[in-house]
Amino acid sequence: MSPARKRTVTVLGATGSVGGATVDLLARRADLFDVEAVVAGRDAEALAEVARRLGARRAVIADPSRAQALGDALAGSGVSYAAGHSAVIDAASIPVDWTMAAISGAAGLAPTIAAVRRGGVIALANKECLVCAGAAFMAEVARSTATLLPVDSEHNALLQALGGQSVDDVETMTLTASGGPFRTWEPARIAAARPEDALRHPTWSMGAKITIDSATLMNKGLELIEAHHLFAIESERLDVLVHPQSAVHGLVTFRDGAVTAGLAAPDMRVPIAHTLGHPQRLATSAARLDLARLGQLTFEAPDTERFPALRLAREALAEGGATATVLNAANEVAVALFLDRRIGFMDIPRLVEETLALFGKVSSAAPASVEEALALDREARSVASERLPAARFRAH
C-alpha cells in the first residue's frame, strides 16, 4: 500500500485490546498514516503514552475527573487534550479518512454515530452499535457518505469470504466460536466458575467484558445480531459452529453448494489491517497461519443447554423489535455484577432472561433513532439492576 498522501485516522478506544492492536499497526507504518485524535475512557497515563507514540494531534479522555492526569502525562509533548463526553464526540467528528470505532459497550454508540455522520471509513469494532440500535444505526450509515467495515474477526472473515457477491446468492453464513474456557466443563463446574476462571480465554487476549461474553457464548449471540444488520441477512440463514482452533473465523455457503471460508491466525491485527488498507492490502507483521503445524481443524455444534446465553440471543434476534437492545443492556449489567463477584456465572444468563421476560409484557418496536436506543438501554439497565435484590443469586 503506497497512497499518494498519508491517510488521516482517529482511534476511538485507543487503550483497549483492539485499540492496542490498531496502535501497533499505525506505529509500524507511520509513513502511511497521520493520527488526528486518540480517545480512551479513563486510563489517562496509557492514553498519553499512545498519543506520544503515534504523534497524535489530540488526546481525549471520557472521564472528566482524569483531565488533569492526562494533561500532566502529556506535558511538553505538544499534544492538545480535552475531557468529557462532549470532547469525545468532538474528537469523533474531526474529518478523517479512517476511524477505528473500538469504544466498548453502549458507551461507544454516540461517538461512532458522530463518526458515521462525518463520513470516511468506519472500522467497526463495537458490536453494541448494531445490537443496541441496529436498524437506526444502519439507517444513519445509509444516509451518510461513510463506508462501514467490520473489524470483528468473524464478520471481517465473512465479508472477505463473500467476495463482493450478492447476499441473495448466500444459503448460510456461519460464525465460528472458540467455545471459551468452559467448552468441556460439566454444568456443575461451570456454575461454580469464578471471574478469574472465565477470564482465561484459550485463544484470544481481549478486554474483560468481551472475554466473559466469550465464556457464556453471549458474544457469539451478539455477533449473530451484528451479522444480521451488517449483511442484511435473515436470522434463519445465520449459524454458529464451535471451532476450538480459531483458525476459521467465518464460512459462507452459497446456494450452489460452494463454501468459502475466511482463515487467519487468531491475531486482531489481521482484520484491522484489512480495514485500514481497504481497498488495498496493508503488509503487516501479524502471525501467519501454519496449517501443517496446527495439524487439524475440528468443529462441533454449540451446546445451548450449558450455554443458554446463545439461545437467548438467537431468540432476541428472531423476535426483533427492541428485544436485542434489552438483551444487550441486561447482559452488560450482569457481566459487571459477575466481575464484581456479586452474582455467579450462570446468573448472567438468568438475569438477562428475567429482564427480557419483564420487557416482554409490553410490546416494543425497534428504536427508531439512536436517542431512542440509548433511552431504552438506560431503562433496561435500571430494570436489570433492580432485579438483583429480589433474585436468589449466589456469588462464588
In tens, the pLDDT along 2-58 reads: 556 899 999 999 999 999 999 999 999 999 999 999 999 999 999 999 999 999 999
Report the topology of domain 156-265+294-390.
Rna Polymerase Sigma Factor; Chain: A (1.10.1740)
Between 178 and 364, residue with greater pLDDT:
178
User: For 144-152, what is the mean pLDDT?
Assistant: 97
- Among 59-63, 256-260, 284-288, the minimum mean pLDDT is found in 284-288
Percent of the chain with pLDDT over 90: 86
On the question of pLDDT at 249 being above 80, the answer is: yes
HSE-CB of 288 using CA atoms within 13 angstroms? 6
Q: With both helix axes pointing from N to C terminus, report the angle between 308-319 and 323-339 in degrees, rounded to the nearest 10.
A: 160
Judge contact between 204 and 269, C-beta under 8 A: no
On the question of pLDDT at 164 being above 80, the answer is: yes
State residue 187's pLDDT score. 96
Q: 7-151 — its CATH code?
A: 3.40.50.720
Mean pLDDT for all residues in the chain: 93
Judge contact between 209 and 104, C-beta under 8 A: yes
- DSSP letters spanning 345-369: TTHHHHHHHHHHHHHHTS--PPPSS
Grid cell digits, residue 22: 490498531
On the question of pLDDT at 395 being above 80, the answer is: no
- DSSP letters spanning 302-321: --TTT-HHHHHHHHHHHH-T
On the question of pLDDT at 396 being above 50, the answer is: no
334/342 Cα distance (integer angstroms): 9
Instruction: For residue 133, give the nearest of 373, 356, 332 by alpha carbon.
Output: 373
User: For 171-181, what is the mean pLDDT?
Assistant: 96
Stated pTM of the model: 0.92
Grid look-up 445490537 returns 131
On the question of pLDDT at 389 being above 60, the answer is: no
Q: Which amino acid is at 237?
A: R
In tens, the pLDDT along 120-147 reads: 999 999 988 999 999 999 999 999 999 9
In tens, the pLDDT along 335-379 reads: 999 999 999 999 999 999 999 998 875 557 889 998 899 899 999
User: For 317-340, what is the mean pLDDT?
Assistant: 94
Judge contact between 158 and 262, C-beta under 8 A: yes
8/35 Cα distance (integer angstroms): 6
In tens, the pLDDT along 60-113 reads: 999 999 999 999 999 999 999 999 999 999 999 999 999 999 998 778 999 999
- Whole-number Cα distances in Å, 313 to 2, 308, 319, 344, 393: 42, 9, 10, 20, 21
114/362 Cα distance (integer angstroms): 31
Q: Where are the domains of the chain?
A: 7-151, 156-265+294-390
